[in-house]
Amino acid sequence: MARTPSGELVSEVLAGRVRGIARMMSRAEAGDEGSRHALAEIYFHTGKAHVVGLTGVPGSGKSTLVRSLARAVRESGRKIGIVAVDPSSPFSGGAILGDRVRMTGLTADPGVFIRSMATRGALGGLARSTLDAVDILDAAGFDLVLVETVGVGQDEVDIARAAHTVVVVSAPGLGDEIQAIKAGLLEIADIHVVSKCDRADAHKTLADLKAMLALGPSGDGEPAWVVPVVPTSAERDEGTGDLLSAIDGHRARLDGSGGMERRCRRIIEMRVLKTAEEILRTRFVGRRDGRFAGLIEQVMARNVDPYAAAMDLLAAFYKD
């Protein structure tokens, strides 16, 4: 029996072919119905990669840090896939944040795959398309998959929570010594990085962050893990090796304590719920029979309460 186009594409992904990986990601990002069967088959080949979420406020030097970290991963003999989530920019052809210059020396390396995900206007699609991309890279044989998010909104926090290891990047001189605290990211970080530590004011950021961590538990509920604070400097090419060691150390701790299974279960729960939410949004917000709009008007007029309206939508979903 001849293979379907989707089946051929899955085979290309599993073989680690760059063109097939890129095409599959484009289909996943577009959200076309036919891609779901291919992505389902791909999912059954996942579960080997170490997924690292890296987030922090704009201006903290995340992209430069990602470049240095990618080089360190390659020097260790491993392959790395990078997914940069940029909710404000149009699709940039795979350049991280639309800027290939920052990744000079990496884009030609077959052991590095870089993809920028544009998500403006997507209905709940930020987490879905990104996690689909992670699955694709995992199935394609990349040892470490790094998801970099721009900003510190709820979507970015959700994506960070979908990683095995969460790295939060801060930097001195951005108006708030501990931006991660202000952003509510302190409690989800497994590793803190203070970038630009060649600056004179970096020691204060390091000291303040360590003091805050000493006040209470963090690391997303893994009591055996002491959250490290890693200073880095792109100018001096310092700290990247320490960061990779911390990432590998966290993975080893998760594997040895049962924490990896707990995190994977949490990730799957989140994905199932978000996918169900997206299906409901797509099904009802855009439907032409006016059911959703009519219910909104009923709630506005105080004829129906929001809970009853939601139950009405769910009943219609199961009936249809």
Report the distance separating Cα 8 and Cα 284, nearest Å.
34
At residue 165, φ and ψ (nearest 5 deg) are -130, 130
Placement of tokens 């990078």 in the chain = 82
Q: To the nearest 5 percent, what fractions of the chain are helix, strand and coil?
A: 50, 15, 35
- CATH says 47-257 is which class? alpha beta
- The pLDDT score that the predictor gives to residue 212 is 81
pTM (two decimals): 0.86
At residue 59, φ and ψ (nearest 5 deg) are 95, 0
Please report, in tens digits, the pLDDT of each residue of the chain (320 residues total): 445 567 899 999 999 999 999 999 999 888 777 788 999 999 999 999 999 999 887 778 888 899 999 999 999 999 999 998 875 544 443 334 444 445 656 778 889 999 988 655 444 446 788 889 999 999 999 999 999 886 666 666 776 678 999 998 888 876 655 555 655 677 788 999 999 898 888 888 888 888 888 876 555 555 578 899 999 998 788 999 999 999 999 999 999 999 999 999 999 998 888 888 878 877 777 666 688 889 999 999 999 999 999 999 888 888 87
Query: Is the Cβ–Cβ distance between 12 and 4 less than 8 Å?
Result: no
Query: Is the Cβ–Cβ distance between 183 and 152 less than 8 Å?
Result: yes
Query: Is the Cβ–Cβ distance between 270 and 155 less than 8 Å?
Result: no
Instruction: Judge residue 22's burial from the number of C-beta atoms within 10 Å of its C-beta, 0-12 exposed, 13-18 middle, 19 or more buried.
Output: middle
Indicate the domain borders of the chain: 47-257, 272-319
- The pLDDT score that the predictor gives to residue 130 is 86
Report the distance separating Cα 36 and Cα 10, nearest Å.
11
Residues 6+ apart with CB under 8 A from 159: 53, 55, 85, 126, 127, 130, 131, 147, 149
Cβ atoms < 10 Å from Cβ of 211: 10
Query: Is the Cβ–Cβ distance between 180 and 209 less than 8 Å?
Result: yes
Query: Token pair for residue 119?
Result: 């998500």
